[in-house]
Structure 1
Amino acid sequence: MSNFLIPAAYAQSAGGGGSMSGIMSFLPFIAVFAIMYFLLIRPQQQRQKQLKSELKALRRGDRIVTAGGVIGVVQRSREDSAEVEVEIAPNVRVMVLRDTISTVLTSTAKPANDESAKK
């Protein structure tokens, strides 16, 4: 019963240039990865790097947002400490970990290329 299928399988021609088609089949995967890297991964890495530098430069008076959504003003921050004292309401101060700060809204530090300060 299955003997009549065997000659048909041998009669098919073998595909030539298999190594080139193998490389070409991976090309779309490489292209998709490159697009994802430049659109998703790279901007996220830059944002994390920027946030890390902002957290190192935290000073008194900076407005911050914690990961829990609490907005406050930095009252005390030491570079060697992992904790920051934040005022979340008048006369209400809490200690938060530096790693839980998700955004620095305003910074008291002046930019290095501030031209209005030179005039």
Structure 2
Amino acid sequence: MLDILSAAAASGSEPPFWVSMLPLVGMGVIFWFLIIRPQIRRQKEHAARVAALKKGDQVVTAGGLVGKVIKVDDTYAELELGQGVRVKAVKGTIGEILTPGSGAPAND
């Protein structure tokens, strides 16, 4: 009889499995709202800006080149970096679209 009571007391002191998993689930939720969700939103905004790219926009590439968009197609954008200097860039490497008046134009 004493063995049964001590076994019941030992098994009763251990929390259920779901209680021990609660901190891990909580950390997952915190990571989702603080890290993953904002990153997904930034990626969608960047994709929308690149999709709306048009001739005449001033852009900064991921490599730091500042230029004016001359021609745009599905995967590439032709940029004019200076007078007579043109390069073809993959649209995914365009990091930022500059607003007019945000600085001196790249071609001056």
Task: Assess same fold via TM > 0.5.
Answer: yes
2: CA distance, partners of 1:25 / 1:14: 17
Using the size of structure 2 for normalisation, the TM-score is: 0.75
Cα deviations by residue, 1:24-72 (Å, 9 ceiling, x for unpaired): 1111111111111111111111111111111111011212121211121
Q: Tell me the residue number matched to 2:60.
A: 65
Task: Report the AA paired with residue 63 of structure 1.
Answer: Q
Whichever of the two has the greater Rg, that structure is: 1
Task: Report the AA paired with residue 21 of structure 2.
Answer: F
Aligned residues: 94
Q: Tell me the residue number matched to 1:15.
A: 11
Quote the sequence identity (%): 37
Matched position secondary structure for 2:12: coil
Equivalent positions of 1:40-59 (< 5 A) are 40-59=35-54
Structure 2 unaligned residues grouped into runs of 5+: 1-5, 101-108
Equivalent positions of 1:1-119 (< 5 A) are 13-16=9-12, 18=14, 20-78=15-73, 81-106=74-99
RMSD: 2.1
Structure 1 unaligned residues grouped into runs of 5+: 1-10, 108-119
Q: CA deviation at 1:97?
A: 0.8
With over 3 angstroms needed to count, the CA separation of the structure-2 counterparts of 1:104 and 1:17, relative to structure 1, is farther
Q: Tell me the residue number matched to 2:105.
A: none
